[in-house]
Amino acid sequence: MATQVILPKLTYEMEEGRIAEWLCEEGNAVAAGQALFVVETDKASVEVQAEETGTLLKVLVPIDATVLVGAAVAWIGSPGDAIPEAEALQPPKEQRAVSSPQDITVTSGDTVTSRDPVAVAASPVAKRLARELGIDLEDVQKHIGQKRIREGDVRAYADARSTAMGTDGPEAAGDAEFELIKPTPLQRAMASHLSKAAAIPQAAAACEVNLTSLELLRNELSADWEASHGFRLSFTHMLALLAAHALESCPTLNATWTDEGIRLYRTINLGVAMASDRGLVVPVVRGANQRSLAELAGEIGRLQRATMDNRLRPQDLEGGTFTITNVGMLGITLSIPLVNPPQSGILAIGAKRDQLVLKDGQPVTNPVTMITVSFDHRVVDGVAAAAFLQRLKELMEDPRSVLG
């Protein structure tokens, strides 16, 4: 007897998901626990596993379509099993009230990608870029010929289209002076999240830190670090552990405001902001202050690889109690970030720069950086924020007490 595959609720706030990729084809054998498809949620792209062993009889929802939690997306069973017709015809969210799949112009809840989703072969990255640019993949295929479309093909078509339009394009016509791109589930979630952040009474404090000792220690540890651990030691790894230890003496920055009172967390679950091709994500290192430098660095590395591959798990993104963001990697010297609700604090680390100072009457340069903490003023007062920065400054300028 055939078993229905439904879109599961992967996060607390998830209401819908976009099918990003099918990892099996119709007619393929699947085993319970095998990754079946990838869904893009409000937080990340997540692999969904099959719960039954059998054959993938029917895929009900095409790639790029958005469906509600609980909707049927496929059937698994034995060859020859009957699929209930009423269930098989259950449409995805954006296809309701459409009489025939071939009549569908919009195949994704995000934007137009192709008039016939089955007819155009394209990589997931190319499809995502086409959605972002509002480009129809059928037009790209006509431009490049009959072959699988890749990211470079979409970019080349976009450039060619812009050049061809010149001053006679839609902007000159006056009836299409802007391009409207519908947000992805992640972008919608981010907009909602930032709206909540803007409602929080926030303040920020910053101080300058001398990086001489931290640089010396990193150079010492890096000598055989990669050979011993299989990856390079970064300043982000070291700063994450130092920040976690600084939080131990500043409990209100590891807390949440609730209507019942201020919730002080006993565990420090450190969110580390990371860039992805879908936008900013903040995966979480649990029990950060209880880990060794190697353990914490290894976990951050795992989360970075999962972010780049769009393979973060829901549990990787939930439960954070404080966030750090290293904008210094982008050359930004000062950042005043918004608090990441429901957390009460977020730390930004700026770019390293050389500062000219006098030492024994002689000009010398010191490597310095600016660190900034933004905080929920309902939970954290200025004195507590200053104490946290002072403690973190002490640890950064004398890191051996924590990092060895």
Q: Which residue has the tokens 């016939």?
A: 116
What letter would DSSP give residue 149? Answer: B
CA-to-CA dists, residue 371 to 290, 348, 393, angstroms = 23, 6, 9
Cα 47 to Cα 20: distance, rounded to the nearest angstrom: 10
At residue 163, the pLDDT reads 57
At residue 137, the pLDDT reads 84
Cα 58 to Cα 80: distance, rounded to the nearest angstrom: 11
Q: In the β-sheet with 72-77, what is the strand arrangement from edge to edge?
A: 3-6, 72-77, 54-59, 29-30
Q: Is the pLDDT of residue 33 over 50?
A: yes
Confidence of residue 89 (pLDDT cuts 50, 70, 90): very low
- Containing 7, the helix (H) or strand (E) segment is none
At residue 187, the pLDDT reads 76
Pick the CATH number of 3-103 from 1.10.760.10, 3.20.20.100, 3.40.50.1820, 2.40.50.100: 2.40.50.100
Average pLDDT over every residue of 211-229: 94
Average pLDDT over every residue of 368-378: 97
What letter would DSSP give residue 219? Answer: H
Q: Which residue has the tokens 């049927």?
A: 72
Cα 347 to Cα 1: distance, rounded to the nearest angstrom: 54
Q: Position 64: which residue type?
A: D
12's tokens:
């607390």
CA-to-CA dists, residue 113 to 23, 57, 209, angstroms = 20, 26, 49
Average pLDDT, the chain: 84
Q: Look at strands 322-326 and 345-349 and give their pairing.
A: parallel
Q: Which residue, among 63, 397, 373, 380, has the nearest Cα to 206 in the 3D structure?
A: 373
Q: 314-355, pLDDT tens digit by residue?
A: 889 899 999 999 999 999 999 999 999 999 999 999 999 999
Residue 264 neighbours by CB distance under 10 Å: 14
Cα-flanking dihedrals φ and ψ of residue 333, to 5°? -85, -30
Q: Which residue, among 104, 158, 156, has the nearest Cα to 131 in the 3D structure?
A: 158
At residue 18, the pLDDT reads 86
Cα 89 to Cα 307: distance, rounded to the nearest angstrom: 34
Cα-flanking dihedrals φ and ψ of residue 267, to 5°? -110, 140
Cα 106 to Cα 85: distance, rounded to the nearest angstrom: 24
Cα-flanking dihedrals φ and ψ of residue 136, to 5°? -85, 125
Asked if 3-103 and 200-403 have one fold, the answer is: no
What letter would DSSP give residue 251? Answer: G
Torsion of CA 382, 385, 386, 390, to 10 degrees: 170
Q: Where are the domains of the chain?
A: 3-103, 124-181, 200-403
217: left (phi over 0), alpha (psi -120 to 50) or beta: alpha
Taking each helix axis from N to C end, the angle separating 382-397 and 212-229, rounded to the nearest 10 degrees, works out to 70
- For domain 200-403, the CATH superfamily is Chloramphenicol acetyltransferase-like domain (3.30.559.10)
Tell me what percent of the residues of the chain surpass a pLDDT of 70.
Answer: 85
**Which pTM value belongs to this model?**
0.68
Q: Are 280 and 371 in contact (CB under 8 A)?
A: no
Q: Is the pLDDT of residue 402 over 60?
A: yes
Q: 136-192, pLDDT tens digit by residue?
A: 888 887 777 656 787 777 877 777 776 555 544 444 444 557 787 777 777 777 787
Q: In the β-sheet with 35-40, what is the strand arrangement from edge to edge?
A: 45-49, 35-40, 16-22, 66-68
- Containing 113, the helix (H) or strand (E) segment is none
Confidence of residue 378 (pLDDT cuts 50, 70, 90): very high
